[in-house]
Chains A and B, each alone.
Chain A
């Protein structure tokens, strides 16, 4: 079946602009995660959605970052007033129903802020 998809695959933006990154999780998966991976670094947790519960936003680095998940499926990560340090690969993952289950990752969106 279809895996996790993300769009766009690459995004180049100017400093100060807003960007939206999209994630389509695996159908039926209730848990959805966003991570950020800088060059040569591990995955940095950003935000976690589980069903209809309030999201865990504890990893968002600043109030310029926000995310929503509509209808328990598609999620959008928004970065306002982008900065050069926001340049990274943004990865989305979904899992069946709990934080501790294996996660299925999308291919990521490479964001470059010039």
Chain B
């Protein structure tokens, strides 16, 4: 069955550093992969979409990579700020055309 794995442990980093979050998937090859941000008590908010034929995608301080050989996506936030503290969800497209959401990685950026 299709499986998504994100770091279950919270990531704690210092303001100004680069945060790197990992998403691994198994047993299939998604055509797209999306990243969402979720704040406590709120619904997820879309951040970036990367397609299987794209190695890298950037948006302001965000960068996403997609390695179809390793079956892995990395999500980077450069020059991190306390306001970046949230849970980040990885969501590859499944074979049925729906998004499968990982359990998310909680990021905490300390001033």
Contact = CB atoms under 8 A, between A and B. Distances in A.
- Give the interface centre of A4, A45, A100 by most chain B CB atoms within 10 Å: A100
Contact of B100 (A41, A45, A48, A104): A45
Nearest to B99: A103
B103 A41 contact: yes
A2 B1 CA distance: 37
Contacts of A103: 44, 46, 99
A107 B102 contact: no
A48 B94 CA distance: 14
- Give the interface centre of A43, A45, A105, A107 by most chain B CB atoms within 10 Å: A43
A103 B45 CA distance: 8
B98 interface: yes
Contacts of A40: 103
Nearest to B42: A107
Nearest to A98: B97
A102 to B, nearest CB: 4
A20 interface: no
A26 to B, nearest CB: 12
Given A42-B101, A42-B102, A43-B101, 8 more contacts: A42-B4, A99-B97, A100-B31, A100-B32, A102-B34, A103-B46, A107-B43, A108-B41
